[in-house]
Chain A
Amino acid sequence: MKKYILIWIMFSGVFFISACGDSRIHSQAVYMLVDTSGTYAQEMSKASKIINYLLATLNPGDSLAMAKVETRSFTEKDIVAKVTFDKRPSQATLQKRAFKSKIEAFSKEIRGSAFTDITGGLIQGAEYLNETKAGKKTIVVFSDMQEELDKGTLRDFPIELNGIRIVALNVTKLGTDNADPRLYLDRLATWEKKVRKAGATEWVLVNDLENNMESILNTR
C-alpha cells in the first residue's frame, strides 16, 4: 500500500512542480520601434533582419512587439504585431511564423511619415513592457534618433523607463552630421542622458548589425 502511495506522490510531484515557479521573472520582453519617417523607411529590410534575429533568439514565454515611429507614436495603433510566446516550444514556433508573416506584410505596405516621435514611442513601449511583467525588458529603437515633432505634440516632460534597457540600432549619419560630426555625437549624448535620467538600466548603441547583433539582448 505504501508503495502505491509513494508512486502516486512521485507522479503528482511532476505535475505539482510544473505548476509552481514564477516564469515571468526569467522571461524577457522586447519592444522594437521602427522609424518610418522620410528616407529611413528604406531601411525596413534591415529591420526585418533584426526581427528575424529576435524571433530566432527569444524563448517560449518571452514577449515581442514591433511598433512604427510616426508623427505621434504614443498609441496602440502603431503596434504592428505583438505576441507572448506560448510555454510549449511547438506552439511558440507557430507563433513565430505568424509574427514573421505579419512583419513581411507590413514591410510591403510601409509608408513614410512626416514627423518622428521617438519619445512617444518610448513611452508606449515602456507601458507595454511593464504590462508583460517580464524580468528583462528591452526597447530597441531602429532609427537615426533625429526626433522631429509635429506642432502641438508635447514631449518635453520627464518620462519613466525604470528597469528598461534601451538599444539604439542602425543610427545612421545625416547629411548635416557629415558636415559637423559633433551634431551626431551630441544627438547620441542627448538621448543617452535622457534615457538614463528616465531610469533606463542601460544605453546600448549598435551600428554594426552584421557582427554585433548579440548586444541587442545581452547585457554588457
Chain B
Amino acid sequence: MVLQEVSRAGRVPLVCLPYFESLHKAGCFVFVTEAVDLNEGGLVMMDINSWLFWPDRVALSVLVLGVLVLLFLYAARASMHEMIHSVCNLVAQSTRFLSRWFFLSAENLRLRNQAVLLAHSQASLASQIDREFVRVENLIQKDMHEFPSLQRKFMEEITRIEEDYRKCGEVPPPPPEWVEALDSITHIKSGSEIPRKLMEDINKSIQKMHDKTVTEYRRSYEERHKILKKMQSSWRSVDKLIGEMDKKMLTLKSNAKQIDSGIAKFKAMRAKDFRTEYALTVSSFVQLAISSLVMVIALGGAFINYKLIALPMSEMVGASDYITNSLKTSDVAALVIILMEASMGLFLLESLRITQLFPKIASMDDRMRRRLMITSLVFLIILASIESSLALMRDMLISDKAALMRDLASVTASDPGGWFTSIPMAGQMIMGFVLPFALAFVAIPLESAVNSLRIVVGVLLVQSMRFIGFTLRFTGVVFKRMAKVLEMIYDIVIVIPLMIERWVEMLRSNSSAEGQVKLESAV
C-alpha cells in the first residue's frame, strides 16, 4: 500500500513486493504503482536509483546519462542505419512476397471459378439449345408429315380457282351480223322510204335482239357470280392454309432465333469473353438472391408446417421427453418429418430430371428412375396424409384442452356454433396435406442456390485475397520508404554530435587548406 502511494508509473510482480518494501524502508526511492501477477500480464519496473550516478544530484546524473546515451547513439549510427534498413527491407520483401502469393492465388482461384462458371453455364446453355432443337425437330417432323397432303390440297384449291376464273372470263360475243347490216344500210342513198323502213325494221329487230342479248348477258353474269361465290370458300381455305403455314414458319423462325442467340452465347463462352463472364457472374449473384428469397418463403411455409404438427407429435413420442435441456423430442420429431418431406420432394424432382443435384439419379436408366419417382411420390403422399391427420389431431387436442380448462374454471360449455366452426379444422387438414407438396418444390431454388453460391463465394474470396494482397503491397511500399524516415529521425535525436562532427570536419579541412597555402607560399 505504501509502495503504491509513492508514484504511479511502475508495475512490479506480486512476488517481488516484499523486496521492494524492504528497499523503501532502507531509504531507497522506489517507483512502484501496482503489483502485477506474472501469470496475468507483463511487467514494467522502474527503479530510478539504479539509473542515477549520483542519487542526490538527479539533474547532473540525468545530464551525464543523456550525454552518454547520445555518444552511444552517435557511435552506433552506422550500425543502426544498417539495422533500420535491414529490418524495413525484411518487412517490405516479406510483405511483397506475401502480396504476390495472394495475387497469384487470387488469379488461380479466379481461373478456377471461371472454369466452373463457364462449364456450368455451358452445360445449362447446351441443354437449353438441345431443347430448342428438339422443339424445332418436332415442329419440322409434324409439318413435313403434313406437308404432302397440305400441298395436294393447296394444288386442288388452286386448280379449282383457275377453272372457275376461266369460266368467269367467258363473255358471249355480240352478234356480228348487225354490224354488217348497219354498214350496208349506211351506204343506201337517202330520200327514199326504203331505208327508213329498213331502219325501223332493224331497230325493232335490234331492240328485240338487244333485249334477248341483255337477258342472256344477265344470265351469264349471274352464272359467273355464282361461280365466284363458290370460289369464296376455296379462297378462304387457301387463306387459312397460308395462315397456318405462316404461323408455323413464325414459330420456326423464333426457335431459330433462340438457337442463334444460344449459339452466339456459347461461342462467347468458348472464347472466354470477359463480358460474358461478367454477365454470368452477375447472373449468379441475382440467382442466389432470388433463390434465397424463395427459400426464405419456403422456410416460412416449413415453420407453419412445423407448428401444425409439433403438438400432435407429442401424442406420438411423448410431450415430456427432451433430447437436450431445451429441445423437446416431439419438436425434433416434427422437424424430422418436415425434413423427410423436403427430401422426398428433392428425390421426386431429381427423378423427374427437373433438378440435377445428384448425378447418380440423373444417370439412372429410365425404368429405375421411374421406380424412384413413384416411390418418392408414394412416400410424399403418405407423409402428407400423416401430416393431415396430425393436423386433425392437433385440433382435437386443442378442443379437449379447452374443454378441460372450462371444466376447471367451472364455466358452462358454450354453444358449439354452426358448420363454420369446423372451417379452421378443415383448413388445417388441407394445409397439412398441401404444404408437403409445396415444400417439395424447394429443391429447385435449393439447386439454384447451391450452384450460384459456389460462384458467389469464389468471387468474394478472390476479391478478399486481392484486397489482402493490395494491403500487403501497400505496407511493403510504406516500409520501404519508412527506412529513410527512421534514419532521419535517428539523426535528429543525435543532431548535436552530428553538428560537432561537421564542425570538426570543417576545422580540419580549413587547417589543412591553410597548411597547404603556407606550404605553397614557403615553396
> Chain A: residues with CB nearer than 8 A to chain B?
3, 7, 10, 13-15, 17-18, 20-23, 25-27, 52-53, 55-56, 59-62, 87-90, 92-93, 96-97, 100
Given contact pairs A26-B325, A53-B408, enumerate 18 new A-B contacts (beta carbons under 8 Å): A7-B379, A14-B336, A17-B332, A20-B323, A21-B321, A22-B322, A23-B318, A56-B404, A56-B405, A60-B318, A60-B320, A87-B319, A88-B318, A89-B314, A89-B400, A90-B315, A90-B397, A93-B404
* B315 pairs with A88, CB closer than 8 A: yes
Q: Which of A7, A10, A87, A96 is within 8 Å of B318, CB to CB?
A: A87
Please measure, in the bound complex, the distance between the C-alpha atom of A214 and the C-alpha atom of B273, giving whole angstroms.
Answer: 71
Closest to B312 in A: A89
8 pairs of A and B residues whose beta carbons are closest in the complex? A61-B320, A87-B318, A18-B317, A60-B319, A52-B408, A23-B320, A21-B322, A21-B321
Which residues of B lie under 8 Å from residue A90 when comparing CB positions?
Answer: 315, 396-397, 400
Which residues of B lie under 8 Å from residue A22 when comparing CB positions?
Answer: 322
Which residues of A lie under 8 Å from residue B31 when comparing CB positions?
Answer: none
* A25 pairs with B322, CB closer than 8 A: yes
Q: A26 with B336: in contact, given A7-B379, A55-B408, A89-B314 (CB under 8 Å)?
A: no
Residue B333 lies at the interface, judged by CB distance under 8 Å to chain A: yes
* A26 pairs with B315, CB closer than 8 A: no
Which residues of B lie under 8 Å from residue A93 when comparing CB positions?
Answer: 400-401, 404
Q: A89 with B401: in contact, given A10-B343, A61-B318, A97-B407 (CB under 8 Å)?
A: yes
Q: Which of A3, A15, A62 is within 8 Å of B372, CB to CB?
A: A3
Residues of chain B in range 85-108 having any CB-CB distance to chain A below 8 Å: none
Residue B113 lies at the interface, judged by CB distance under 8 Å to chain A: no
Please measure, in the bound complex, the distance between the C-alpha atom of A143 and the C-alpha atom of B340, giving whole angstroms.
Answer: 54
Which residues of B lie under 8 Å from residue A25 when comparing CB positions?
Answer: 322
The interface residues of chain B, by DSSP majority, are classed as helix
Which residues of A lie under 8 Å from residue B379 when comparing CB positions?
Answer: 7
Please measure, in the bound complex, the distance between the C-alpha atom of A56 and the C-alpha atom of B411, giving whole angstroms.
Answer: 14
What are 12 contact pairs spanning A and B, CB under 8 A?
Answer: A3-B347, A14-B333, A14-B336, A15-B317, A17-B329, A21-B322, A22-B322, A23-B320, A25-B322, A55-B404, A87-B314, A90-B397
Which residues of A lie under 8 Å from residue B401 when comparing CB positions?
Answer: 89, 93
Contact with A along B312-351 (1 / 0, CB 8 A): 0011111111111100010011001101100100010000
Residue B409 lies at the interface, judged by CB distance under 8 Å to chain A: yes
Q: Measured between C-beta atoms, what is the minimum distance from A2 to chain B in Å?
A: 9
Q: State the interface size on chain B (CB cutoff 8 A).
A: 33
A17, A21, A53, A56 pick with most chain B CB within 10 angstroms: A21
* A89 pairs with B329, CB closer than 8 A: no
Which residues of A lie under 8 Å from residue B343 when comparing CB positions?
Answer: 10
* A23 pairs with B405, CB closer than 8 A: no
Q: Measured between C-beta atoms, what is the minimum distance from A135 to chain B in Å?
A: 10
* A56 pairs with B329, CB closer than 8 A: no
Q: Which of B320, B372, B400 is within 8 Å of A87, CB to CB?
A: B320
Which residues of B lie under 8 Å from residue A53 when comparing CB positions?
Answer: 408
* A21 pairs with B372, CB closer than 8 A: no
Q: Measured between C-beta atoms, what is the minimum distance from A105 to chain B in Å?
A: 15
Q: Measured between C-beta atoms, what is the minimum distance from B11 to chain A in Å?
A: 45
Which residues of B lie under 8 Å from residue A55 when comparing CB positions?
Answer: 404, 408
* A10 pairs with B320, CB closer than 8 A: no
> Chain B: residues with CB nearer than 8 A to chain A?
311, 314-325, 329, 332-333, 336-337, 339-340, 343, 347, 372, 379, 396-397, 400-401, 404-405, 407-409
Closest to A62 in B: B320
Q: Measured between C-beta atoms, what is the minimum distance from A66 to chain B in Å?
A: 14
Which residues of A lie under 8 Å from residue B347 when comparing CB positions?
Answer: 3
Please measure, in the bound complex, the distance between the C-alpha atom of A92 and the C-alpha atom of B401, giving whole angstroms.
Answer: 10
Which residues of A lie under 8 Å from residue B332 when comparing CB positions?
Answer: 17
Which residues of A lie under 8 Å from residue B323 when comparing CB positions?
Answer: 17, 20-21
Please measure, in the bound complex, the distance between the C-alpha atom of A40 and the C-alpha atom of B235, giving whole angstroms.
Answer: 110
Please measure, in the bound complex, the distance between the C-alpha atom of A25 and the C-alpha atom of B343, giving whole angstroms.
Answer: 34
Which residues of B lie under 8 Å from residue A13 when comparing CB positions?
Answer: 336
Please measure, in the bound complex, the distance between the C-alpha atom of A23 and the C-alpha atom of B323, giving whole angstroms.
Answer: 9
Q: Measured between C-beta atoms, what is the minimum distance from A44 to chain B in Å?
A: 15
Please measure, in the bound complex, the distance between the C-alpha atom of A127 and the C-alpha atom of B408, giving whole angstroms.
Answer: 28
Please measure, in the bound complex, the distance between the C-alpha atom of A54 and the C-alpha atom of B372, giving whole angstroms.
Answer: 52
Q: Measured between C-beta atoms, what is the minimum distance from B321 to chain A in Å?
A: 5
Closest to A23 in B: B320
Which residues of B lie under 8 Å from residue A56 when comparing CB positions?
Answer: 404-405, 408
Closest to B332 in A: A17
Which residues of B lie under 8 Å from residue A89 when comparing CB positions?
Answer: 311, 314-315, 319, 397, 400-401
Q: Measured between C-beta atoms, what is the minimum distance from A21 to chain B in Å?
A: 5
* A18 pairs with B408, CB closer than 8 A: no
Which residues of B lie under 8 Å from residue A59 when comparing CB positions?
Answer: 319-320
Q: Measured between C-beta atoms, what is the minimum distance from A55 to chain B in Å?
A: 6
Please measure, in the bound complex, the distance between the C-alpha atom of A18 and the C-alpha atom of B315, giving whole angstroms.
Answer: 11
Which residues of B lie under 8 Å from residue A23 when comparing CB positions?
Answer: 318, 320-322
* B317 pairs with A14, CB closer than 8 A: yes
Which residues of A lie under 8 Å from residue B405 when comparing CB positions?
Answer: 56
Please measure, in the bound complex, the distance between the C-alpha atom of A20 and the C-alpha atom of B333, giving whole angstroms.
Answer: 12
Which residues of B lie under 8 Å from residue A26 when comparing CB positions?
Answer: 320, 322, 325
Please measure, in the bound complex, the distance between the C-alpha atom of A137 and the C-alpha atom of B144, giving whole angstroms.
Answer: 87
Which residues of A lie under 8 Å from residue B337 when comparing CB positions?
Answer: 14
Q: Measured between C-beta atoms, what is the minimum distance from A188 to chain B in Å?
A: 30
* B318 pairs with A18, CB closer than 8 A: yes
* B404 pairs with A96, CB closer than 8 A: yes
Q: Measured between C-beta atoms, what is the minimum distance from A20 to chain B in Å?
A: 7
Q: Measured between C-beta atoms, what is the minimum distance from B446 to chain A in Å?
A: 17
B311, B317, B336, B408 pick with most chain A CB within 10 angstroms: B408
* B321 pairs with A87, CB closer than 8 A: yes
Closest to B317 in A: A18
Which residues of A lie under 8 Å from residue B311 when comparing CB positions?
Answer: 89
Which residues of B lie under 8 Å from residue A20 when comparing CB positions?
Answer: 321, 323, 329
Please measure, in the bound complex, the distance between the C-alpha atom of A32 and the C-alpha atom of B322, giving whole angstroms.
Answer: 27
Please measure, in the bound complex, the distance between the C-alpha atom of A25 and the C-alpha atom of B400, giving whole angstroms.
Answer: 27
Closest to A7 in B: B379
Q: A100 with B408: in contact, given A88-B314, A89-B401 (CB under 8 Å)?
A: yes
Q: Measured between C-beta atoms, what is the minimum distance from B31 to chain A in Å?
A: 53
Closest to B376 in A: A3
Which residues of A lie under 8 Å from residue B340 when comparing CB positions?
Answer: 10
Which residues of A lie under 8 Å from residue B396 when comparing CB positions?
Answer: 90
Please measure, in the bound complex, the distance between the C-alpha atom of A108 and the C-alpha atom of B319, giving whole angstroms.
Answer: 34
Please measure, in the bound complex, the distance between the C-alpha atom of A7 and the C-alpha atom of B378, giving whole angstroms.
Answer: 13
Q: Measured between C-beta atoms, what is the minimum distance from A175 to chain B in Å?
A: 32
* B321 pairs with A100, CB closer than 8 A: no
